[in-house]
Chains A and B, each alone.
Chain A
Amino acid sequence: MNIDVVYVEDAVFDHPRTRAILARVRPRHVIGCSHWGEVFNRNGQNFRLQKTRPALILARKLGQRVLPIPPGYGCGAGGVYFSHMLNCLYDCRYCFLQGMLRSAHYVVFVNYEDFIDDLRSHCAAQSGPTWLFSGYDCDSLALDPLTAFVTDCVPALATIENAWLELRTKSTQVRALFALETQPRTVCAFSLSPAAVVAAYEHRTPALDARLRAMTGLAARGWPIGLRFDPVLPVADYRAIYGAFFAAVFAALATLSLHSVTFGVMRLPRDYRRRMTRLYPDEPLFASAALDDTPSAHALTQEIDAWCAAELARYVPRERLFAQAV
């Protein structure tokens, strides 16, 4: 992957991780900035234009690094998420980040140790098992060859006795995990969609087959595997498309013991959808009334949800199947 422009916050210019990332990226332009928000949060940026040549911003995350997950998370309810990175290598047309963030540049917060300390403190204050989600504002693994997040963080987080970590990804960047000792409380959760959806909407992502191969490779080494059918798109012939897809996935993974399977129909806050529609006025997905905040759209969502639950129950034990209502 080519990243030609890197902005570096003055405070982390000499951070060893900054040096290491710059050595891996070897950008044409390295530009200093006093705060990452000066670059990332300015009004008037065009997410779609920036996706043509995203820059990387290396910064330090101050303030709240550990945040509660929204209510409605089926698997890992009551857990927290943390974002060592904002934005994603991929360009999924349905991704809510396009509506939430002002910039398409990648931000990597290099102070991983502060995240680990905060997560450790959070878990220490909990009485039971606690879920830590890393892939909420980014793909956990896609940029790992540059960020070394897996090598630097997964073993450290695995030492927190009551912590369960979810790495959410569409990527096939699992080499760093192969190199680690298997962690029984680190779930590698792969987002999967039918090949036709990948082709139409998940731009620059690995093909479905490649994701399945990465998954089986990890499972063979004993890593817990999760499947994330999220979002399920409200397409006209969803039963045929997703029915065949579920059958194919579970046939390919028949020998795997899955940790968890979650599913959720696509949903977008109204403001995000408005911004995304403005960015992509030529995108049929955003033209569809199925994404509206109307009774008929809600009824369709419930119908698809119920169908997915019934269909997936044919392959997955009920106790491992979770609906995402976020």
Chain B
Amino acid sequence: MHVTVVCALTAEARPFIRRWQLARIAASPFQLLATRQRRVIVSGLGVHACATAVGYAAANEAPDAHHLWVNFGIAGHAASALGHTVVATRVRHVQARDAWYPSLLVEPAWPGGEVLTHDQPVLDYPDRQYCDMEASAFMAAASRVAPLDLVQVVKVVSDNREHGPQAVHAPLIERLVEAQLGAFDDWIERWQACVGALPQARADAVRDELLARWRYTHAERTQLTQLCARWRLLGTPQVSAELAACRDAQALLACLRAIVDALPLRLPAT
């Protein structure tokens, strides 16, 4: 499973970069660092920067249906201690009525909390919510490129009524984020197991052989893939003399459809 972490600040990203030994893929317009299955992108502050960074990262991703997206960053809270970490169970922009509810399909390593996204740094903390500047945009953007259930927000408290945002500095942020990475990796492993319930892409030798023999339009290629998938589920595919004798892709698809449509549905042997 691929994981993309979207951080607003370089100081939030640095602990991930060190821990996962990420290499720089791009420096502009966003810093994007990656290994084979882990990526971190530094979006900059604010909702517009965050949504744009998600789009940029999505356009640069390896094709993979099962991709977890996480917005990991700092937040302010009225009373929680510095370093207290929450997984968002509800995310809302302060000026919006609708909220997002990230799925709790995997038991989180941290307690749940409501994240309220503002356009400016907050000095007057609400009693209950965790205040940030990206999460609502992240939910809106990432849920367009991944299943909503695989879009998550994690926030670490960096400031509160006692310790205001003016006292937040890069070394403190790094320390706070670093302290959560062990729990974060465990959580990712549990996601990996959960996502294992989804179908995985399979190699299909018969499809590959049929693809190699004729020329196909894009639509015909899609039809061939679908027919071969059905064939594999209902029978035992093999390239017969009848198929091999087809003149072109159209004739092949017609012949293949007749074969697949005639296959009966059988109950699995018990």
Contact = CB atoms under 8 A, between A and B. Distances in A.
Interface string B204-244: 00000000000000000000000001100110000000000
Contact of B267 (A7, A48, A197, A283): A197
A235 B89 contact: no
A5 B149 CA distance: 14
Interface in A30-59: 31-34, 38-39, 42-46, 48-53, 55
Contact of A280 (B100, B143, B199, B264): B199
A309 interface: no
B139 to A, nearest CB: 10
B260 A289 contact: yes
Interface stretch (B51-59, B171-179, B190-198): B190-198
A184 interface: no
Interface string A254-295: 000000000000000000000000001111110111101000
A38 B100 CA distance: 7
A53 B199 contact: no
B80 to A, nearest CB: 17
A29 B87 CA distance: 12
A33 B99 contact: yes
Given A5-B104, A7-B101, A49-B147, A31 B112 contact: yes
A61 to B, nearest CB: 19
A236 B149 contact: no
B267 A235 contact: yes
A29 to B, nearest CB: 5
B158 to A, nearest CB: 24
A44 B233 contact: no
Contact of A53 (B90, B101, B104, B263): B104
Nearest to A285: B265
Contacts, number: 113
Contacts of B98: 38
Interface residues of A, number: 46
B270 interface: yes
B60 interface: no
B23 interface: no
B265 A200 contact: no
Interface string A219-260: 000000000000001111100010000000000000000000
A199 to B, nearest CB: 6
A237 B264 CA distance: 9
B267 A200 contact: yes
A53 B193 CA distance: 12
A33 B101 contact: yes
A153 interface: no
Contacts of A50: 103, 105, 149
A235 B264 contact: yes
Contacts of A296: 261
A196 interface: yes
A284 B149 contact: no
A28 B104 CA distance: 11
Nearest to A233: B265
B179 to A, nearest CB: 23
B149 A200 contact: no
A303 interface: no
B107 A49 contact: no
B202 to A, nearest CB: 8
A114 interface: no
Contacts of A282: 199, 233
B234 A49 contact: no
A42 B264 contact: no
Interface of A: 4-5, 7, 28-29, 31-34, 38-39, 42-46, 48-53, 55, 195-197, 199-200, 233-237, 241, 280-285, 287-290, 292, 296
8 A-B pairs closest in CB distance: A236-B264, A287-B230, A289-B261, A288-B265, A44-B148, A287-B233, A284-B233, A46-B147
10 contacts: A29-B112, A31-B101, A33-B90, A42-B100, A44-B143, A49-B105, A49-B147, A55-B104, A284-B265, A287-B233
